[in-house]
Amino acid sequence: MRRYLWLSLISLALISVGCSRMGIGARSDSQIATDVQGKINGDNSLPDKQITINANNGVVTLSGNVSSDAARNQAASDAGQVQGVKTVINNLEVNPGATTAAQQQQQPEQQASNQPASAPEVSRPSPRRSTRSSRSHGSNNTSDSGLRTTVPANGATTATSADNMAGNNNQAPAEPTPPPPPQKVTIPSGTQIAIRLGQELNSETAQVGDVFHGSISTPIMVGDQMVVPTSADVEGRVVDVKSAGRFKGQSDLVLELSSLLMNGKRYSLSTNQWSKNGSSRGKATAAKVGGGAALGAILGGVFGGGKGAAIGAAAGAGAGTGVSAATKGQQIDLKPETVLNFQLQNAVAVIPGSTRQALNQ
Domain boundaries, the chain: 13-94, 188-281+330-350, 287-328
Domain covering 188-281+330-350 assigned CATH 2.40.128.260 in the classification: yes
50: exposed, middle or buried (Cβ count in 10 Å: 0-12, 13-18, 19+): exposed
Give the pLDDT confidence score for residue 233 in this predicted structure: 96
Residue-by-residue DSSP string for 287-329: HHHHHHHHHHHHHHHHHHHHHHHHHHHHHHHHHHHHHHHHHTS
Rounded CA-CA distance 270/202 in Å is 23
Q: What is the CATH number of domain 13-94?
A: 3.30.1340
Give the pLDDT confidence score for residue 358 in this predicted structure: 37
Q: Is 330 helix (H, G, I), strand (E, B) or coil?
A: coil
Give the pLDDT confidence score for residue 297 in this predicted structure: 44
pLDDT in tens, 111-131: 555 555 555 555 555 555 544
Contacts 24+ apart (CB under 8 A), 126-131: 127/151, 127/155, 127/156
Q: Is 92 helix (H, G, I), strand (E, B) or coil?
A: strand
Give the pLDDT confidence score for residue 128 in this predicted structure: 53
> Residue 74, Cα to own-chain centre: how many angstroms?
11
Would you give the DSSP letter of residue 216?
E
Over the chain (361 residues), the average pLDDT of each successive run of 10 is: 69 60 65 88 78 88 86 87 89 72 52 54 53 47 51 52 61 81 92 95 93 96 94 96 72 94 94 87 50 46 46 44 50 94 95 61 34
Burial 186-216 (b: 16+ CB within 10 A, else e): ebeeebebebbbbbbbebeebeeeeebbbbb
Give the pLDDT confidence score for residue 165 in this predicted structure: 65
